[in-house]
Structure 1
Amino acid sequence: MATAPQQQLPLFYNQLEPLSSQVHGDYRVRVADTAKFLAEQHAVPVTVEEFPLVQRYMPIVFSVGDDPVPLALMGLNEGVNTFFDETGKLIDPNFYVPAYIRRYPYLLARLRPESDELSLCFDPTADTIGQFEDGEPLFVDGQPSDFTKGILQFNEQFEQAGARTSMFMKDLKDMGLLMDGEVTIQPEGAAQPFIYRGFLMVDEAKLNELRGDQLRKIVQNGMLPLIYAHLFSLSQMRDIFGRQMRMGKVPQPQLVAPM
């Protein structure tokens, strides 16, 4: 049986296995209202299409490193998620669940390094897919069910959004608009402020200094509203901090929080 490459698996994925009617013809998918893998996850990747919705609930920052990606913060410290409880159940239904989370346990993966073809795979360790008596069938009479076709379409759209997000990040880097981020929060009555670092953000000063041709480019290609969605979302840092305070999960002041 063919297997998907296992090295450097994305966040949440433990294994990858190509979906096959020969092997998984009797598999079904159960709807779950909990996601245990989220219980202690404080950050999740998001695509540029999601910025307008994400900014209403979570800060959007960028990871450090050579290839930064946009991240939505569900907590300001590793191991802290202020939107999902310890069982992985959503605490408040008024919340936008990022597509990266909704995609799991499925993933489009390249089975052969020399090929550009992507195959629909899944994480066999997930508890929502298997040989169940109930649930949505993945195959009907040996052919992908409408449910499976919907999964494939969603994953294809996610890959396309990912490509647009990569281009957005490349443009930010090429224009030198990214800088090391730092947020200082001084709670009332606290002797010292809480300082959060370990992420990238857009440098507003450099944004305001862009040449006319550069500014026209980011207006015409739709980058400018995305940049402002990111900048506006940073005000959510204090809301997330407040949620952590109410949960009793605030660390010592001046913590450097890796993203």
Structure 2
Amino acid sequence: MASAPQLPLFYNGLEPLSSNTHADWRIRPQETAPFLIGQHAIPLTVEEFPLAQRNFPIVFSVGEDAIPLGLMGLNEGVNVFVDSTGAVTENIYVPAYIRRYPFMLARLRPDTEELSLCFDPASPALGAFEDGDKLFDGDQPSEATKQILGFNETFEQAGQRTQAFVRELRELELLMDGEVTIELTGAPQPFVYRGFQMVNEEKLANLRGDQLRKMSQSGMLPLIYAHLFSLSLMRDIFARQAQQNGTPQPAPVPTF
């Protein structure tokens, strides 16, 4: 979800997984995710909306290449669902973007469409450990690596469907600049959050019948409503921030 030379969110580098270089490497589970500390907006695939909307407001980033984001905080540097070690503090839906780390599929050369399984070499989850799951059996991928590859392939396919979903929203001119205002008793002024996009409910209601029918049949319409319903959680996230860190300062949700 980021183009070269930028690295995607969380990643410090990318190295292709190789049976030559990493023949003796293993992967072991991590109890914490320090890379989540202070990360307030996590990319989502559209298929995650029904589960994600139970815990997070779902918004869209600004710009032409908008992507869905689950907000784990309203202010940059704030994640209300992880502690100071990066441990998730409660039973919430964990987005696939988080679960795929430290792996991802990437093009090793700009002149090819072929994707290779890569990993972040800064991750402590992989190495020449005595314990953990083997990444290779001889020169062949282990069962653990096959499962990792399968998950990443599924994630890439979901990402393509998400791009198509957002593209259709844009073609129907349903996306608009979002704004959420939260008023506190005794506060001198309301807290206003901007810098994101959301679906325009008025335009949605005024679509032609055949357009709405097509969206309903394709499964697009329920996903839009999952997004719209999730926005009510903005106030819950605000309250969590106030409880954990004191009343947050009004600031825009950064663009991605």
1:257 paired to 2:253: yes
Structure 1 residues 27-65: Cα deviation after superposition (integer angstroms, max 9, x where no partner): 111100111110110000000110000000000000001
1:107 corresponds to which of 81, 84, 104: 104
In 1, the alpha carbon distance for the partners of 2:36 and 2:17 equals 24
Give unpaired runs (5+ residues) of structure 1. Answer: none
Partner of 1:9: 7
Cα distance in 2 for partners of 1:177, 1:6 equals: 29
Aligned to 1:55: 53
Secondary structure of residue in 1 paired with 2:20: helix
Equivalent residues in 2 for 1:10-89, closer than 5 Å: 10-89=8-87
Tell me how far 1:66 sits from its aligned partner: 1.1
The question of 1:182 aligning with 2:179 is answered yes
Tell whether the 8 Å contact from 2:46 to 2:162 is kept in structure 1 after alignment.
yes
Between the aligned partners of 1:220 and 1:119, the Cα distance in structure 2 is 35
Amino acid at match of 1:182: E
Contact map agreement 1:6 1:15 (CA 8 A) in 2: no
What amino acid does structure 2 have at the position aligned with 1:83?
F
- Whole-angstrom distance in 2 between the partners of 1:63 and 1:24: 37
1:190 CA displacement: 2.2
TM-score, length of structure 1 as denominator length: 0.95
Instruction: Give the share of equivalent positions with the same residue, in percent.
Output: 65
Alignment TM-score, normalising by the size of structure 2: 0.96
SS of residue matched to 2:21: helix
Residue 148 of structure 2: aligned partner: 151
- AA at the equivalent of 1:137: K
Matching of residue 160 in structure 1 with residue 157 in structure 2: yes
Give 1:212 shift: 1.6
Residues 1:227 and 2:224 aligned together: yes
Amino acid at match of 1:59: P
Aligned to 2:207, what secondary structure does the other structure show? coil
Compared with structure 1, are the counterparts of its residues 230 and 50 closer, same or farther at alpha carbon in structure 2 (3 Å cutoff)? Answer: same
Unaligned runs of 5+ in 2: none
SS at 2:89 equivalent: coil
Q: Deviations over 1:47-94 (max 9, x none)?
A: 0110000000000000001110000000000000000112111111x1
Cα distance change on mapping 1:16 and 1:55 into 2, 3 Å: same
Higher alpha-carbon deviation: 108-117 or 160-169: 108-117
User: Aligned-pair distance for 1:215?
Assistant: 1.2
One of 186, 196, 199 as aligned partner of 1:199: 196
Aligned partners of 1:80 and 1:249 also within 8 Å: no
CA distance in 1, matches of 2:113, 2:32: 34
Deviation by residue 1:132-152 (Cα, 9 ceiling, x = unmatched): 111111011221110000000
**Partner of residue 247, structure 1:** 244
Following superposition, the deviation at residue 112 of structure 1 comes to 2.0
Task: Give the CA RMSD over aligned residues.
Answer: 1.3
**1:6 positional shift:** 6.2
Distance 2:253 2:155 in 1: 29
